[in-house]
A = this chain, B = another copy of it.
Amino acid sequence: MEPFKVYEIKQSVFANNDREADKVREELKARKTFLLNLMSSPGSGKTSTLKRTIAALKDEMRIGIMEADIDSDVDAEAISKTGVKVIQLHTGGMCHLDADMTRQGLNELGTEGLDLVVLENVGNLVCPAEFDTGAVKNAMILSVPEGHDKPLKYPLIFQVCDALIINKIDVLPYFDFDLEKVVEYAHMRNPKLKIFPISAKTGEGVDAWCDWLREQVGAWNN
């Protein structure tokens, strides 16, 4: 038996996604569950950042993870080894999740008793940014090899996020990546964005990110 459930998401039938998203948040608030929507390009390190985050927080809160992917189970497989509750959501080719699709995932995962649920969205900087999933906060990862010009090219995702993780800072010496510039460009899109340079590989900077997340979860659930 697989150590996690695989669920095929159904297309939503709701015309007003923003209203459904608000309803999802109300349901989460009532159950004292915080939902984080984590977005990024393919390969920027969502799953490895999650593994670090789980290791740092799992002794102080009950965590559930929803891995959204078009087709494979490799991410849920990786997360299941951390011992937290995890479900693999298959989007069947769809490039994003909306609020009702997120609700389907929450129902299949079962949020009873969970303090924090993280939705690892489909790897894509464009479409996921357009749909409110019902998450309490949105975070995104930009990795050093992707380049510091991304806030110029993909404006919306930087606007809708509360936190930006800059991952793979361990390889900064090998890339023409200007950390000051990316902070400047990102704040140009969204002055309130919290920015956390980290290396999911070495663990550097992960504490500051987890402090922020811990604070958000505490504020929502209490």
Contact = CB atoms under 8 A, between A and B. Distances in A.
Interface residues of A, number: 36
Contacts of A150: 42-43
B41 A154 contact: no
Interface string A25-60: 000000000000000011110000000000000000
Oligomer: number of copies: 2
Contacts of A144: 145
B71 A130 contact: no
A20 B194 CA distance: 45
A145 B171 contact: yes
Nearest to A156: B93
Contact of A43 (B41, B70, B93): B41
A123 B174 contact: no
A128 B143 CA distance: 22
Nearest to A149: B74
Interface string A162-198: 0000001011001100000000000000000000000
Interface of A: 41-44, 69-72, 74-75, 93, 95, 122-127, 130, 143-147, 149-150, 152-156, 168, 170-171, 174-175
